[in-house]
Structure 1
Amino acid sequence: MSNSQVFDLVLLGGTVVTPAGQERVDIGVIKGKIAEIGDLSSAEAAETFDAGGLHILPGVIDSQVHFREPGLEHKEDLACGTAAAALGGVTGIFEMPNTQPNTLFEEDLNDKLSRCENRAWTDHAFFIGASDENMDDLAELERLPGCAGIKIFMGSSTGSLLVEQPEALRAVLTNGTRRSPVHAEDEQRLRERFEMVRDGAHPKMHPEWRDAEAAVLATTRICALARETGRRVHVLHISTRDELPILEANKELITCETTPQHLTLSAPDCYERLGTLAQMNPPVRSEEHRLGLWEGVRRGIIDVLGSDHAPHTLEEKGKPYPQSPSGMPGVQTLVPVMLDHVNKGNLTLERFVDLTAHGPARIYNIASKGRIVCGYDADFTVVDLERREVISKDWLASKCGWSPFEGVEVKGWPVSTIIRGNIVMRDGELVGDPIGQPVRFEDTIVPTGRED
C-alpha cells in the first residue's frame, strides 16, 4: 500500500507507543494525519525523520495551564507559554479562565482564540469559568468551538469565579453535560485557618493553612453533587492520599488529575529549599501524601497528569509569605520530570502515555488526538529515554524565567515535538512559524462549512 503513495513525512526506526504497546515501526503522515504504521523503509516521502534509538509517543496534552493572557502578560503570554510547551514536548494545551478579564462569555473565548492565531506554537483550547454572571448560559457556552469545558473554582479563585455554595454548585452541574474540571478546596475552611499565617509565616506553613481536610471536604462535596446531578466532573491537582478512597468510590462519574510537582516534591524539604517558589494551591504536602499519590497512579485512580503551569515573576514570588502568590511554572518540565520517574521505575512508559495522551483525550472527548492510530492527527512527542540533562534557566522559555526543578538532573528528554505532521521543535530549537490551531472535541458544535 505504501508503494503507491507519497508521504509528507515518514518517521523511521523509532520505538512507537501504540494502543498495543511498544512496537518498532515506522509512521507515515499525509495531510497532517497518520496514514500508515508499519515498515516504510522504502516508502517515498517529502521529509523523513530518523527516529533510531528514540521513542515516539502520542503527543502530550497538558490539560491544565495558566498562560495569563489577557491582562497579566508580564508573567506569561500565549506565545511564550506555547513556546515553552513545544520545547518541552507538549503538543496541546488547555488554558484556564482566570485571566483579566475572566473567560466567561463567547466573546472572551473568541478573543483568546484570535490571540493565538499565528502566535501559538501548540494546539490549544480554553476553559470558560463558571460564575454567577454566566450561570444560565453554561450549557451553550460549553459547546462552543475551542472550549474545553466549564471550569469550577470551589476555592482559590480570581474575580467572579468562586462558586462555593451548594446551591450554586448544583446550578452549575445541572446546566450542561460535558465533564467539568474542578478546583476542590473548601473556601470556608481556608478563610477560617488563614489566621494562622495572616501576620506572616514561613512558607512551610502553606500546607498547614491549606490543610488536607480543606481538600477532602471539597472533594467529598463535589463527588456527592456529581452523583446527585449525574454530572461528570474532573477533580484537578489532587494533593492528598486521603482523597483517593473518595474518588475511587465515585469513578463512574469522577476522574482526577495530579501534577509532577505533587509527585516529586514534598514538605517540609521543598519549602526549606525553595521558599515561596514551592507555594502552589493546593499545596505540595508531606512525603506520606506524595507516596499516597503514587499509589493512586499505580492503581489507576488518577487518570491524568497536568502541569498546572501558573507562572509568577520572581519579584512577585519574593514577597513575604503569605502575600506571595501561589503557583509555579511547569508546562516545559512536565515531560522530562516524568520521564525521569519512568527511568526510576515509578511508572511505565505506557502508563505515562495513558496519563498524558490517552487520558486527556478520553476525559475531554478530544477528537482525533491522544493515540497513535491511523486517521488520527499526527501529533508526536519524540523522546530520548537515555539522554541525561540538567534543567537549566537558559532552556526555559516562560516569561517568568524560573522553575522549581532548575538545576535538577533528569534522565529522559524530549528531542522533538511534531504537531499535525509539522516538526515544531527539534533538538531544543523551535522550527518554522507558530502553527497552533484550536483543539476539536466530539461533543461541541462544528460551525457549518468547517472542515473536520
Structure 2
Amino acid sequence: MMGDQQETLILRDVLIPGGRVADITIRDGLVLHIGAAGRGDVEIFCQDTTVLPAGTDLHVHMRDGVQKFKETWESGTKSAIAGGVTAVVDQPNTIPPLISPDLVRDRVFLAASQAYCRFAINGAVTGDSDLTGMYRAGVFAFGETFAGPSSYGEAVDFEVLSKTMKQISSWNGIMTIHAEQVTEGTDDSLTRHDALRSVSGEVQTVQDVLNLNSSQCNLHFCHLSSAQAIQSVPVGTATVEVTPHHLFLSKDTFSPDDPRGKVNPPLRSEKTRKEVFSCWDRIDVIGSDHAPHSIEDKDQSFEKAPSGIPGVETMIPLLMGWMVEKKITIPEIIQKTSTNPSEMLGLSPAGFLPGNRADFAIYPEDCTTIHADSLHSRAKWTPFEGMKAIFPEITILRGAIVFDGGEFIQPDLSSSRCDIHQTSLADDPGLSLWIPGRGYTLEKPI
C-alpha cells in the first residue's frame, strides 16, 4: 500500500465466462476496468488458467480457544485462501457456545487477530440466547440451529424455534437450520449412524420447520443430505445448502466402522449420493461444513469419535475437478460458491464487472491428486484423499495477492477503507476483515 491507494493490479488475458478474453484492472480492492489495460504495478499473466471470483463459504467451524489443537483462525483461514475462498462464516457451537454479545465480541477479536480472509460470525440459538444483544453485536445469522443434537450443539424444541423465528423475522434476519432427528441406539458404524440420523428424519424436520414458519423468517437449510429433503423445500421458501462430502462421498467410500467418515448429517448410500447430485439445479449454495478434528480424535472407536470432517480447502478444487469431467460448468460453480453466498452475506459480488469486489482465485488447467500432507488445516487428514481436484495457484483478496505458489501473504490492513455495506468500522483497520451483520448498525462500533 502507498498512502491510502493500493497498487494497480492487472490480470492479463483472462478468459471471462461467455468466451471473451480481456484484461482486468484492479485498484483499491475493486475491479476498475475490463478490457485492454496499460501497465500495472503488478501484473499476472492468466493464459492457460481459469480465473474465478473467490468463494464465500457460509459454513465453517474454525474451532480455536480450547480446541485450537483441531484448528485456529490462522490455520483455518489459510486453508480457506489456499482453496480459493476469501470469506467464511463461523458457526456458533464453539466452547462455550456464542449465546451473548460479549461472547460474540470475544470471538470477533480472536478471529481478527489471526485471520487471512474475511469472516463473519453466527449467533447460537438456545433457550438462553440473548438474540437482541447478539444481533446488535453484529452476528450475520442465527444458527446453525439444531433440531437434533450434534457435536457441541444443543437441540432446541419447537416452542423455542417458533418464538425465535418470529423475533428474527422482525429484523428481516436469517436463521440457519440443522435439520435432523436423532433416534436412540448404539452408534458403532457408518450404517448405524445413517440409520440413527435417518433421511426420513431429515425430511420430517424440514417439513416441520417450514410449517412452523408462520412469520416467514428467512430460512437457510444447512447441509441437506438427501434428494427427498432438498425436494421438500419449495423454491422461494428457503435456501438450500449441500456440502462437498454429501456430493462426493458415501458411507460406501469407507470401511463400515471408519470414524473418518462420521459426520452429521451422515454420509448416505452411494445411491443417495447420486440422487443428491441429481438435484444440482435446486442447490443454492455449496458450503463446506468445515469441521476439523485431530487424527487422534478420529482414531478413537466409532462411538467415541466426534462427528465432522475438514473441507474448506478442498471444496472448490473438487468442484473444479468435476468441471474438467464436464459434470458441472464454471458459471454454476461461481453461482453456488460465490455469487449466491455473497449475496446472502451482504457482500458486493466478486466478479467480472467494473465496481465488483476484487477477490479472485487463479486455477491451472490440470488436475492434481488430493493429499493431506499438502493441505493446511491442523486436522492433518482429509476424507478426500486421492481424489482429483484443481487447487488455485494464486488467491487475491481486496485486490492484493494473499496466496501465491504455496506462500501466504498476510493481508495489509494499513488502509482503513471498508468495502462492505457497513461503514461503522472505517476507523478500525484491525477489524477490517470482519463482516458484521446488518443489525450492527443499531449500535456504536464494537
**TM-score when normalising by structure 1:** 0.87
Equivalent residue, structure 1, for 2:148: 155
Cα deviation per residue 1:311-330 (whole Å; 9 max; x = unaligned)?
11111111112221100000
> 1:83-125 CA deviation, whole Å, 9 max, x = no partner?
1111111111111111111112221121122112341111101
Residue 368 (structure 1) aligned with residue 348 (structure 2): yes
1:336 alignment partner in structure 2: 317
**Cα pair 2:119 2:435 within 8 Å, conserved:** no
Corresponding position: 1:252 with 2:236: yes
Give the match for residue 219 of structure 2: 233
What aligned pairs does 1:208-357 form with structure 2 within 5 A after superposition? 208-226=195-213, 228-247=214-233, 249=234, 251-267=235-251, 269-272=252-255, 275-297=258-280, 300-357=281-338
Matched with 1:107 is 102
Q: What are the superposed Cα offsets for residues 10-48 of structure 1, whole Å, 9 maximum, x if unpaired?
A: 11112134xxx45322111111111112221xx132211
Query: Of 118, 131, 142, which residue of structure 2 is paired with 1:138?
Result: 131
Please give the per-residue CA displacement for 1:290-317, whole angstroms capped at 9, x wherever unaligned: 12211211xx311000110101111111
SS at match of 1:229: coil
Q: Do the aligned partners of 1:33 and 1:376 also contact (CA within 8 Å) in 2?
A: yes
Q: Amino acid of the residue matched to residue 431 of structure 1? A: I
Q: Tell me the secondary structure at the aligned position of residue 398 of structure 1.
A: coil
Output the CA distance in 2 between the equivalents of 1:434 and 1:83: 15
Contact 1:118 1:433 in 2 (8 A): no
| Separation (CA, whole Å) in 2 of partners of 1:238 and 1:344 | 24
Secondary structure of 1:44 counterpart: coil
User: Alpha carbons of 1:434 and 1:398: their partners in 2 closer, same or farther (altered >3 Å)?
Assistant: farther
Give, in angstroms, the shift of residue 207 of structure 1. Answer: 0.9
Residue in 1 aligned with 2:423? none
| 1:203 to partner: Cα distance | 3.0
Deviations 1:317-363 (A, max 9, x none): 11112221100000111111111111122211100110001110233
RMSD between aligned residues: 2.3
Q: Which amino acid aligns with 1:120?
A: A
- CA distance in 1 between counterparts of 2:111 and 2:369 reads 31
In 2, Cα distance between equivalents of 1:126 and 1:343: 34
Please give the secondary structure, in 2, of the residue aligned with 1:26: strand
Q: Once structures 1 and 2 are overlaid, which stretch shifts more, 201-210 or 77-86?
A: 201-210
Displacement over 6 Å in runs of 4+: 447-450
Match of 1:123 in 2: 118
Secondary structure of 1:323's counterpart equals: coil
CA contact (8 A) 2:221 2:238 kept: yes
Matches within 5 A, 1:177-188: 177-186=172-181
8 Å CA contact 1:335, 1:414 repeated in 2: no
How far 1:271 sits from its partner (Å)? 2.7
Distance in 1 of aligned mates of 2:324 and 2:118:
28
Match in the other structure for 2:29: 32
Following superposition, the deviation at residue 418 of structure 1 comes to 0.5
Q: Could you list the runs of 5+ residues in structure 2 that have no partner in the other structure?
A: 414-430
Alignment of 1:40-55 (within 5 A): 40=37, 43-55=38-50
Q: How do 1:45-84 and structure 2 match up within 5 A?
A: 45-84=40-79
For normalisation by structure 2, the TM-score amounts to 0.88
Secondary structure of residue in 2 paired with 1:316: helix
SS in 1 for 2:236: coil
